[in-house]
Amino acid sequence: IIINHTDCGMLTFKDEDLRSKLQKQTGTAAVAPVAFHAFSNLEENVRQQIQKVRSHPWLPKQISVRGFVYDV
């Protein structure tokens, strides 16, 4: 089950903006590529996550994967 929720903080920034802010606040750049996986569209993110889970080679094809948006 993939569940996203309305008013999610991940909707409020872009990865690059957060990386820059963290670098300014700490004085240190990330030592490896960092992905926070921010997104701008809840429904699209749920669809993408469902596809990602469904396509994983360790998940048997007969397993049902569902996604929802919880309205907080």
What pTM did the predictor assign?
Answer: 0.81
Distance CA 56, CA 63 (A): 11
Distance CA 16, CA 34 (A): 9
Question: What is the reported pLDDT for 47?
Answer: 98
Question: What is the reported pLDDT for 63?
Answer: 96
Domain containing 42 equals: 2-70
Distance CA 72, CA 48 (A): 21
Q: How many domains does the chain have?
A: 1
Q: CATH number, domain at 22? A: 3.40.1050.10
Phi, psi of 38, rounded to the nearest 5 degrees: -65, 155
Instruction: pLDDT tens for the chain, 72 residues: list them.
Output: 999 999 999 999 999 999 999 999 999 988 888 899 999 999 999 999 999 999 999 999 999 999 999 999
